[in-house]
Structure 1
Amino acid sequence: METLAVLILLLVLLGIGLPVAWSFAGVVAALAWFYDANLNTLMLQGFRSLNSVILLALPLFILAGYLMESGGIAGRLISFIEMLLGRRRGGLGTALVGASGMFGAIAGTATAAVAAIGTLMIDPMEKRGYPRGYAAALLGISSLIGILIPPSITMILFAVATQQSVAACFAASIVPGLLLMGGLMAYNRHQVGRRFQETAPPPAQSLREKLSVTARTLPALLLPLIILGGIYGGVFTPTEAAAFAVLSAVLIGMFIYRDMTWKKLASSTVQSAETTGSIVLILLFSFIIGRILVAERIPQELTEMVMAAVENPILIILLVTTFLVLIGAVIDDVSITVVIAPLLLPLMVSVDVHPVHFASIVATSVVIGANSPPMAPLLYMACRIGKAPVKEAVLPALQLILWVALPLMLVTTFVPELSLALPRWLGLL
């Protein structure tokens, strides 16, 4: 009963507009009062939990994302993808999806993809005949490819919160990420000519122009190969890979593309520090919440209660995934990953769901929740960046969820090998 009251309190605090970190602080205070916990001891334990080498990857990947946006890497990637796909039916929408996936494979965050890609692509898509609301909805959904294609901030948080291997969680989400990318491209191609007409593409580029675009994009294209190859090849750890990504973004932006200035570097550093500070506060309070819940045996009691009420493992898995989708429509992906997922993990393990498989389930559910009203943070951000009315983006977003994101989540949930085969092949499980 106390846990339900605390969950309601969290939703109320978020609903009245209190920042997420301070909403979690309110939850900590309520739990400490309910269970008479020693806050001094809990704060000390929380700070010790943050003292992790793995967590150093978090601010570094966030900084890398901002540096790649301001250093011209995102723009080159979009030009390259548009050159490859832009002249085909639905080409510009396909290019948006492909650019989101490629940018996500470097930056690891959905918000950076929305800002970088939306700024450059929404206006050209409208000129080519795409409804602005549809383009914003497609951007909102496709930006979540960045939490599935590693390196992923969400997977780092999940691994730290549940004490799993970061590399294994990275590998587990690759196939679902590629499936999401392919599904969005296929849906977009189906819509063109049926719901709206795409105008004629610009004239084809000459071979010399294509080679020039490819040459300019080559440093950006090599980044994800080096980062992922280094992690899975044992050359460096995820934290070292994040440091390499930051250094590479600065060098490429300043000395190769020359779009990076000292002012942009300072601005990107400040923005990443603000984002990191917010996430670290959420992590601190989530660790404390987790300590209290574990001490009071809440996850175990939840598992026993559900197992007593529902005996069929498939129904239990459906209940958990439905809950993740519903709660994801109200709270953000970081909160789900560091608080809700560890709470539900014992229940999923009890029905033989591997923790690394559960990482993929959580990530695919976030794709749905982050674009579902009432909160829909990424959909609303895409609308702001793309200057599209929210009411024009909601229906296309729900259709994308129904025909692409929801089937992906169900397939990921009930076909474990999609998530586990690659980590096993790489020797991570």
Structure 2
Amino acid sequence: MLIWFLPVFLVFLMIGLPVFFGLLAAPGILLYLSALDEGAVNPTKELTLLYRNVYNGMDSFPLMAIPFFMLAGELMNKGGITERLVEFSQALMGHLRGGLAHVNILSSMLFAGLSGSAVADTSALGSMLIPAMEKQGYTRRFAAAVTAASSVIGPIIPPSGIMIIYAYVMGESVAALFLAGIVPGVMVGLGLMLVVRLMANKYDLPKAERIVQKGMTLTSREYWVSFVLLRLNVGWLIFALFRGTTGLAGEGASTLVVMTTFLVGVIAAHVLLMNMRRRIDSDFRMVTKRAVVPLQTPILILGGILLGVFTPTEAAAVAVAYAIVVAFFVLKTMTLQDLPAVLSRSAMTSAVVLLLVGGAMAFKTVVSLSYAPQILADYILSLSENPLILLFLINILLFIVGMFLDAGPAIIILGPILGPIFVDLGVHPVHFAIIMSVNLTVGLATPPMGLVLFVASSVSGEKVQTIARAILPFLAVEVLVIFLITYIPAISMTIPRLTGFVQ
């Protein structure tokens, strides 16, 4: 009887029951009926299995990273960080045909390194860029479609909430998944920019126009912070390249040698940056300096994890601390009066995600009791023995699932079922994690139930149906990227292998 959990769950979704309640009601009813069928004296006793697993599913140290990243994103958004990223994107991409559409996509790529949330991306950037695009002559539905399509980059480029969930459920390395998501996320962004360029003439998108804010200023505090951060970051890059090519100052080298080499790298960075200063327009230079402090967030998160300084959960807490310092003391764009609203919004968003995780973990218990994984595995393997064909079929399945179910619950429900099947077929666990994560993330922007479509509709005032039609060319490119990731493992696996997180 328990094998009917999925059809019952889908019926609940179709009648409009919230996902969290559906995740509990479907297995709860079947557990109760199964206990009655077996003649149990107290059939309700079986239900304790569900609510115990709801709590156990949320009570996890790795999952603490999710509310921290949510809070960091809210702090950055409230602190005016999003505006600085948009200004920087405009300075880089405004000269292209359809410039603001390119700016929208690049801003999503940069914002992805702060929040890791597609919904936060759509809400924060959409409220700013959709009116600006409309003012420049773009149709509202096109602006909303670009915003929704590019927002799916948020959970692909690290940090990523759904990759934290996948790592928690499947026992994989969060750092390896973060690194594996970098190239696919960039590919999605570049693919969307290519679509905009191809559509520029057909839809008469606004002509190229260099968009660099004039007469911008920096406080002395922010000037010196960005001055130091730029030199430290470029110096570290020079140091890493030197160590990687020569082998000097590597493992086994004394602390004095490492520090001296790094100091030389910082001095070389200073000389290089001062030389570039003379060749770059002062307004462009100012916009770039204003973006340095926000862009330090993903560097801090990934750098700390890769160097082993802190775990992903600790990295999320450090990101919050950094966001507070930036918003309150460096930029001074927030006051204590703003904090309750920020904490409230991040708490509500985190609660929704964690409730879904808890409900999905309870749902997963019934999945295992029903022997559905074994039944599905036997059925999938009976379709074909060719892993390439099976990967194609599973991509179709995940794409359909992503249309109706949020990525987090879908990963928790399907990951333990599908992951072992494809690992046994020779697919690397991290590679399959990226296939699944990217596919389900794209589902967030896929009609009819894609969550970011509704958020984009709310922000823009445009109907979901019209956004859904306008987004189809962008979805086509995202599906193409999914298949490239699927059949060319090097796209996602090269960086984790080079950094030693995957053998």
1:208 corresponds to = 282
State how 1:10-409 maps to structure 2 within 5 Å. Answer: 10-33=9-32, 35-36=34-35, 38-199=46-207, 201=209, 207-402=281-476, 404-409=477-482
Q: Is the 8 A contact 1:134 1:392 kept in 2?
A: no
Change (3 A) 1:71 1:314: same
Aligned residue type for 2:473: Q
Paired AA for residue 371 in structure 1: A
How far apart, in 1, do the equivalents of 2:30 and 2:493 lie? 36
SS in 2 for 1:373: coil
Distance verdict in 2 for CA 1:196–1:341, change over 3 Å = farther
Is the contact made by 2:157 and 2:182 (CA closer than 8 Å) also made in structure 1? yes
CA distance in 2, matches of 1:324, 1:30: 26
CA change 1:184–1:200 in 2 (3 A) is closer
Q: Deviations over 1:321-370 (max 9, x none)?
A: 10100111111112212212222212222322222111111122124321
Contact persistence 2:68–2:317 (CA under 8 A) = yes
- Are the equivalent residues in 1 in contact too, given 2:94–2:102 (CA < 8 A)? yes
CA pair 45-205 structure 1, distance change in 2 beyond 3 A: closer
* 1:385 to partner: Cα distance: 0.9
- Residues 193-245 of structure 1, C-alpha deviations (whole Å, 9 max, x = no match): 22123056367556332222222222102111111111112111111110011
Indicate if the aligned counterparts of 1:107 and 1:151 stay in contact, CA closer than 8 A. yes
DSSP-derived class of the 2:388 partner: helix
Q: Which runs of 5+ in 2 are unaligned?
A: 36-44, 215-280
Aligned-residue offset at 1:279: 1.7
Write out per-residue CA displacement over residues 255-299 of structure 1, whole angstroms, 9 at most, x where no aligned residue. 222222333321121111112212222212222222232244321
Q: Residue 408 of structure 1: CA displacement?
A: 0.3
Cα displacement (A) at 1:55: 1.2
CA displacement 1:109-150 (0-9 Å, x = unmatched): 111111111111111111222221111111111111111100
Q: CA deviation at 1:178?
A: 0.8
Residues 128 and 200 in structure 1, CA contact (< 8 A), matched pair in contact too: no
Q: Percent identity?
A: 34
> Which one-letter code corresponds to 2:337 in the other structure?
K
Aligned residue in 2 for 1:419: 492
- Partner Cα separation in structure 1 for residue 363 and residue 427 of structure 2: 24
Q: Which position in structure 2 is the counterpart of 1:428?
A: 501
Give the paired residue count. 427
User: What is the one-letter code of the residue matched to 1:416?
Assistant: P
1:33 Cα deviation (Å)?
A: 3.0
Q: Quote the residue 2:245 is aligned against.
A: none
Over 3 Å counting, the alpha-carbon distance change for 1:204 and 1:372 in structure 2 is: closer
The 8 Å contact of residues 111 and 121 in structure 2, kept in 1 or not, is answered as yes
In 1, Cα distance between equivalents of 2:23 and 2:191: 35
Q: What are the ranges of 5 or more consecutive residues in structure 1 without an aligned counterpart?
A: none
The alpha carbon displacement at 1:407 in A equals 0.5
Do the aligned residues in 1 keep the contact of 2:2 with 2:31 (CA within 8 Å)?
Answer: no
**1:64 Cα shift?**
1.1
**2:483 alignment partner, one of 407, 410, 417:** 410
Which stretch of structure 1 is more off in the superposition, 13-22 or 127-136? 13-22
CA contact (8 A) 2:183 2:492 kept: yes
Is contact 2:403-2:447 (8 Å) kept? Answer: yes
Query: Which piece of structure 1 moves more, 358-367 or 25-34?
Result: 25-34
Most deviating of 74-83 and 27-36:
27-36
Deviates more, 1:25-34 or 1:173-182: 25-34
Instruction: Compute the TM-score of the two structures, normalised by the length of structure 2.
Output: 0.81
Normalised TM-score (structure 1): 0.94
In structure 1, what is the Cα distance between the partners aligned to 2:355 and 2:297? 30
1:39-71 Cα deviation digits (max 9, x unpaired): 324543553343322111111111111111111
Matched AA of 2:13: L
Q: Is the 8 A contact 1:2 1:34 kept in 2?
A: no
Tell me the SS of whatever aligns to 1:106.
coil
Give the distance between the partners of 1:205 and 1:50, measured in 2 at CA.
Answer: 45
Contact 1:132 1:388 in 2 (8 A): yes
Q: Is the 8 A contact 2:156 2:437 kept in 1?
A: yes
| Letter paired with 1:86 | G
